[in-house]
Amino acid sequence: MLSEYDTEKLLGMQDVEVKNIENDEKEIRIHIRQYRKSCVCPRCGRETDRVHDYRLQVADDLPSFGKRLRLLYRKRRYVCSCGKRFYEPCDFLPRYQRRTQRMSVRMLEKLSEVCSYSSVAREYGVSGATVMRLFDIVSYPRPKELPEALGIDEFKGNSGSQKYHCILTDLENGRVIDILRTRYENELIDYFKQYDRSKVRYIVTDMYSAYSEVVKAFFPKATYIIDKYHWIRQSVWAFESVRKEAQKKFSKSHRIYFKRSRTLLLKRQSALSDEQWQQVSNMLYLDADLSSAYFLKEQLYRLLGAPSTGTDIPSADGRTIPDDDGRRKAFTDWIRAARDSGIQPFVKCAETYSRWFEPIMNSMKVSYTNAFTEGCNNKIKVAKRNAFGFRNFTRFRNRILYLFRDKAK
């Protein structure tokens, strides 16, 4: 049979005496009080154990046994010889609070997951407004300094009257640095001019002109890098446009076959089996533009896979270039070949590559990418979808930084 001390251990509180337990279908009510002991007067500093009266404080605790758990705490009010009346100290239940300290901590821990305020409120039997007020104690100031490798990207937030927000990450250590309300150039300028920017050596962004202008103006000594995914997909989009135009020329059965073979056409030639390559060859034989586009795409993949120095580099016309600057020459030849192909999507792709030539070349030399940043964006989108969106940007920013608090600066 459980003793009184065993019941107190089950409750998980020190120096607490359980006086009574009431249990019904919806909730458990536990009547408790602390053991009587001498307390120090906050006015004069003398000890006293003289009890003036008792007050009842009702508070929610962590749900147990599938029911709501409420503590009915009968707390003492002491009186000192100097006339001061004060409550006994209580570690588990702050004054005037309607929930225990551990319940508040557990709710905050739950909010570190991609869940909504309302789901946490339902789990702990409180209102959604209560959870939001509790979370509002969490606040993150701006970082003190910028990292050596800075990642910049935007994500769709729709809070604070702005459609897109900007995320800053430390790519070297895999940490979220800050969230900005907009991605506009003026706000980025106001933000970065507050910092010492001399320590930033690498900056990785997508192909957004505002980022380029800010980098040129505020980070002239940093190596500017366009994320590989964002510039490579330009050629993939170009190839997809050619494929879609090509399949329109054929009968319905051939169009369906081309559409279902999309994965094979996008897959690298080196990764195809003999049977798959035969299928691809048959499709390329049917359309000259599709064949030219396919080999342009493959040439770009081979260019990416080649070492930057010390070995022969494949060029667009099939030659090899053995010098250390071979990749730059090979990429220039690819742009020229794409422009001269006359295939409009690849002509447009070549023009884009020409405008962003140096940052793209830097991406081939430096291993930094925005993969970590894009992963953070995906998690942010899940959190926003679970919450059905955020209207308050400050709360949204704090929630994002709290989600990545183990990876935040």
pLDDT in tens, 82-126: 999 999 998 888 888 889 999 999 999 999 999 999 999 999 989
AA letter at 259: K
The contacts of residue 345 (CB under 8 Å, 6+ apart) are 237, 238, 239, 241, 242, 293
The confidence band for 17, taking pLDDT boundaries of 50, 70 and 90, is confident
What's the pLDDT tens digit per position in 322-340? Answer: 444 678 889 999 999 999 9
Lowest mean pLDDT among 15-19, 31-35, 340-344, 379-383: 15-19
How many other CB atoms are there within 10 angstroms of residue 323's CB atom? 12
Instruction: Provide the b/e sequence for 56-88 (b: ≥16 CB within 10 Å).
Output: ebebbbbbeeeebbbbbbebbebebeeeeebeb
- Mean of all residue pLDDT scores within the chain: 89
The confidence band for 315, taking pLDDT boundaries of 50, 70 and 90, is very low
Distances (CA, A) of 54 to 47, 50, 183, 286: 19, 12, 57, 91
pTM score of the predicted model: 0.83
Count Cα atoms within 13 angstroms, Cβ side, for 80.
17
Mean pLDDT in residue range 6-24: 78
Beta strand spans in 112-191 (E) = 149-159, 162-170, 175-180
**Residue ranges of domains in the chain:** 4-98, 101-137, 149-227+369-407, 228-365
| pLDDT, position 14 | 73
The confidence band for 361, taking pLDDT boundaries of 50, 70 and 90, is very high
Has residue 352 got a pLDDT over 70? yes
Whole-angstrom distance, CA of residue 284 vs CA of residue 290: 6
What's the pLDDT tens digit per position in 202-247? Answer: 999 999 999 999 999 999 999 999 999 999 999 999 999 999 998 8
Q: Token pair for residue 357?
A: 């030539």
How many other CB atoms are there within 10 angstroms of residue 376's CB atom? 24
Mean pLDDT in residue range 65-71: 89
> Architecture of 149-227+369-407 per CATH?
2-Layer Sandwich (3.30)
How many other CB atoms are there within 10 angstroms of residue 13's CB atom? 21
